[in-house]
Amino acid sequence: MTAQTATPEKAGFSMHRTIERIGIHNLSLLVALVGLLVIFGTLRGDVFFSTRNLLNIGMGVAILGVLAISQTGVIVSGGLDISVGSIVGLTTVATAMTIQSTEAAGMGILAGVIIGALAGLMNGILVTYGRINAVIVTLGTMAIFRGIAFILSDGQSISIFNDSFRWIGTGRIIGLPVPLWILVAVAIGFYIFMHKSIVGRNYYAIGGNPIVARLSGLNIPRYRVAIYVVSGVMAGVGGILLAARTGSGQPISGSDGLELEAITAAFLGGCAMQGGRGTVIGALLGVAIIGVLNNGMILTAVPTFYQMLAKGTLLILAVFLAEYRLNKS
């Protein structure tokens, strides 16, 4: 028998299939990520690729990743949730207060999830049945939730002295931080839900063409409320992780700006303002880019004000590219 050699045509076809599976957009994100790694690795090679710094990047993107993945689901369905950062802050306060009063980590976690779900439910009801634009609603509730967090905490940090709870934010499993494992679990769960389940596919249908989705028999109001509840629960999970990592409940510190980064990561990942587009993998790549960019700017001593400028520019660029792809297709 003679061994068959791959012809250039077969090799080209195989490469084309590989690119199709990865996706042109995801491939461009990978190239951008590698470019950032090369740039910061060159500027601060003595520190950037150290195990400690890479774990710091992972810890830094764990909470953002959870929020960006759930934000992707909201945007895919045609909505937007600007209040997630405030929900995270409120959740840290509620979790810390519950653990202080009950001395039970489980009760604190339950409180955080419930508060997140209730906040999401409020957003969903106002958007769906109040028929108010999602941007306006979540912009308003962003201020409301942050105000409640300040009132409950009296504007002070609430310390958490519970080793079992703190392990969630500082412990490790097989050498990797627990928050990273939680992010992986959330990513896998959402990937299966969004791409393999009927309910997840309906998200895309509602965002892509709500009229057709309604005519096909989908209960769109119920779906929309549920989508915001899920977003609130994931923000609650993010708040639990933040409280466990910092050992405190704080109304704003640590959660301020998370909504901007989560939305940026979702749009970098391929979401469209009109809905109907976006993937979990794309969101994770967007999160990785933001995490590396944040870490690299800190290591290279970029002033805070310039970091804010870079993040705002990145959001505008992400939305511009998303709209450009949509108009071109």
Q: Where are the domains of the chain?
A: 47-328
pTM for this one? 0.89
pLDDT in tens, the chain (329 residues): 444 555 555 545 454 554 555 567 778 888 888 998 999 988 888 898 898 999 989 888 999 999 999 999 999 999 999 999 999 999 999 999 999 999 899 999 999 999 999 999 999 999 999 999 999 999 999 999 999 999 999 888 999 999 999 999 999 999 899 999 999 999 999 999 988 899 889 889 998 888 888 888 888 999 999 999 999 999 999 999 999 999 999 888 666 788 999 999 999 888 888 888 888 999 999 999 999 999 999 999 888 888 889 888 888 888 887 777 767 66
CA distance 304 to 311: 11
Whether the CB-CB separation of 116 and 242 falls below 8 Å is answered with: no
Q: What sign has the CA pseudo-torsion 292, 192, 184, 106? A: positive
What was the pLDDT predicted at 263? 92
Q: Which residues contact 78 (CB under 8 A, 6 or more apart)?
A: 206, 207, 210, 274, 275, 276
What separation in angstroms does the CA of 73 have from each of 201, 205, 234?
10, 12, 11
Those residues whose C-beta lies under 8 Å from the C-beta of residue 125, and which sit 6 or more positions away, are: 225
- Distance (Å, whole) CA 2 – CA 4: 6
Spatial separation of the C-alpha atoms in residues 31 and 23, rounded to whole Å: 12
Q: How far apart are CA 201 and CA 204, in angstroms?
A: 5
Q: Work out the number of other CB atoms within 10 angstroms of the CB of residue 138.
A: 27
- CATH 3.30.160, applies to 47-328: no
Residue 1 is predicted with a pLDDT of 45
Question: Cα angle at 169 between 167 and 170, to 5 degrees?
Answer: 65
Token duo for residue 25: 């957009």
d(CA 307, CA 186): 28
Element (H, E) at 51: helix 51-76
Q: Which residues, at least 6 apart from 261, have a Cβ–Cβ distance to it below 8 Å? A: 64, 67, 68, 290, 311
- Cβ–Cβ under 8 Å, residues 307 and 294: yes
Integer Cα distance of 329 and 327 in angstroms: 6
**pLDDT at residue 71, rounded to an integer:** 94
